[in-house]
Structure 1
Amino acid sequence: MSENTPTPLGLRERNKLDKFLRIRAASKKLFTENGFEPTTTRQIAQEADVGLSTLFLYATDKRDLLFLVFNDDLDELTTRAFADCAADRPLLENLHNALRHFFVFYGQDKVISRDLTREITFYTTGMQSERFQATRARTIDSLSTLVEQARVQGEVRCQEDNNMIAKTMFYLLAAEIRMWLADDSQDPQDGLNELMKRLSLIMHGLQAG
C-alpha cells in the first residue's frame, strides 16, 4: 500500500460516518421542506432512522443541526469566492468578484437562507460552532488580505488596521445579504449592487492619507 493510499475506515468509523450523513441529509430535507422553526429534532431523528440520544452525539440542538448541514457549503463558499481574486486588481473589483458568490449562494433558497442568516447572529456555542467560527474568521482574513494587497498598490492609504477594515466589510456584507433576503428580488446582482455602493463609500475613507 502506497503512502498516499488512505487507510480504510474500520467498522465503527464507517457506522459513525453513515449516521452523520443520514442525520445531515434528514436535517437538510426537513429544514428545506418544512422550514427551520416547525421542524423538530425528534422528526429529524426519525427521518434519519437514529435515536434522539444518537442525534445529540452529532449536534447540540436544532440550531447546531442547521450548521451541520451548511458548514461544508460555507467553507467551500469562502474558498471558491476568493479564488477569483488577484493581487494586481483594484480592490473594488476583487470585492465585487468575491462577494458575488455569497449572494449567489444564499439566493439558491432564500427561505432556508433567511433561517441560516438569522441563526448565524448569535451562533457561538454548539458542536458545529467551532468550525463555523473558523470559516467566518477565514472569510475576514481573506478580506484583510485583499486590503493589504490594495495597500501595497497604493489604493489604501489610511492608517487603520487591515483586520478592522476587513471586519467592517464583512459586517456590511452580512447586513446587506439579510436585507436582500427580506426583499422580493430574486436576482443576486441586486443585493450585490447595493453592497458595492456602500463599499465604494468606504473606499473614499481608505484612500485618505
Structure 2
Amino acid sequence: MKNPTASSAYPPELGLRERGKLDKLRRIKQAAREVFLEKGYDAATTREIAQRAQVAIGTIFVYAEDKRDLLMMIVNNDLDAVNVKGAKALQQDGPLIELLMGFFSLRYRYWARNPQISRPAVQATSDFLATMVDRGEETRRFYARRASIYAMLADVVRRKQANGDIGSNADPELIAALFVTIYLSEVRRWLSQPAPKPTAGLARLRALLELAIEGLGPTPAERQALGRKD
C-alpha cells in the first residue's frame, strides 16, 4: 500500500530519480539538524549524520562539501526568509533606530531558537573576511547574503541622508558596515550565554546602535584631533 503523504511530497512531474535525490537531501538535512542539536556542531561527525540519514557517507559529499556546508544547508533557506522580512522592515517609515531594530530583531529571534546551531553559524558569518579558500555551494550562498545585507542597510542610510533625517554625509556603505560590525560583535557575545534571551540581547544592541547614531558629541579639540572641522 502506497503512503499518500510520501507520494504527494513532491510535484507529480518529477521522475523517480529526481524524487529520490530530493528525499535523500531531506533526510540528510533532517539528520544534520538532529545530530547538531544533540551533540553540538564541534562533536558532530559527517559519518554519524550519514548513518542517521541512512545514506552512504559518500552521498553526504554529493550534497555538501564538508560539515560546515551541512550547517549552512540547514540555515540558508531560513535566513533567506529572514532577509525578505528584514527588507520589508527597512522599507517602513520611522526613525532610523526603529528600522534597524526591526531588521536585527528578526535575526536575534531566529538565532534564539536553536543556539547549538546558531553559535557556529554566526561564527561562520564573523569569519567571512578571513575565509579566502573555496567552500561548498551552501557556504558560498551563506556568505553571499552579506552583500545584500550591506546594500539594504546602506540604502536606508542613503534615504535618511536625502530626507535630512541624519546630518552625517559619511559614505552610506561605511555607516552600514559600522552597524553590521556592532551587530556581529553583540550577537556573538549574546549567543555565548547558556540560554540567550532576545529581549536582553536586543536591549544592549539598541543601546550601542543609538550611541553610533548619536555620536559622542566631541569637543572642538577632539574634532580637530579627528581631522574634522566644526
Aligned residue for 2:101? Answer: 96
Check whether the contact 2:108–2:198 (CA below 8 A) recurs between aligned residues. yes
Aligned residue for 2:58? Answer: 53
Aligned residue for 2:163? Answer: 153
**Aligned pairs, how many?**
204
Listed as ranges, the matches of 1:109-120 within 5 Å are: 109-120=114-125
Aligned residue for 2:173? Answer: 163
Write the distance in 2 (CA, Å) between the matches of 1:184 and 1:40.
Answer: 23
Shift of 1:7: 8.2
Aligned residue for 2:5? Answer: none
Q: 1:11 to 1:118 in 2, by over 3 A?
A: same
Aligned residue for 2:43? Answer: 38
RMSD: 2.4
Q: Which moved more, 1:38-47 or 1:14-23?
A: 14-23
Write the distance in 2 (CA, Å) between the matches of 1:177 and 1:197.
Answer: 13
Deviation per CA, 1:1-33: give whole Å up to 9, x if none. Answer: xxxxx8822332222211111111110011011
Aligned residue for 2:4? Answer: none
Question: Scaled by the length of structure 2, what TM-score is found?
Answer: 0.80
> What letter is aligned with 1:179?
R
Aligned residue for 2:127? Answer: 122
Q: Which moved more, 1:46-55 or 1:121-130?
A: 121-130
Shift of 1:60: 0.8
Write the distance in 2 (CA, Å) between the matches of 1:86 and 1:127.
Answer: 30
State the identity as a percent. 35
Write the distance in 2 (CA, Å) between the matches of 1:150 and 1:189.
Answer: 27
Aligned residue for 1:196? Answer: 206
Write the distance in 2 (CA, Å) between the matches of 1:39 and 1:52.
Answer: 14
Check whether the contact 1:88–1:153 (CA below 8 A) recurs between aligned residues. no
Shift of 1:63: 1.0
Listed as ranges, the matches of 1:164-183 within 5 Å are: 164-183=174-193
Deviation per CA, 1:56-102: give whole Å up to 9, x if none. Answer: 01111111111111111111111122322345311111111111111
Return the index of the structure with the highest Cα Rg: 2
> What letter is aligned with 2:123?
R
Check whether the contact 1:103–1:177 (CA below 8 A) recurs between aligned residues. yes
Q: Which moved more, 1:8-17 or 1:165-174?
A: 8-17
Check whether the contact 2:90–2:152 (CA below 8 A) recurs between aligned residues. no
Aligned residue for 1:3? Answer: none
Q: 1:15 to 1:162 in 2, by over 3 A?
A: same
Q: 1:7 to 1:166 in 2, by over 3 A?
A: farther
Shift of 1:154: 0.9
Deviation per CA, 1:106-150: give whole Å up to 9, x if none. Answer: 111223222222233335422212211222222222111211221
Check whether the contact 2:126–2:184 (CA below 8 A) recurs between aligned residues. no
> What letter is aligned with 2:29?
R
Listed as ranges, the matches of 1:128-139 within 5 Å are: 128-139=138-149
Shift of 1:206: 11
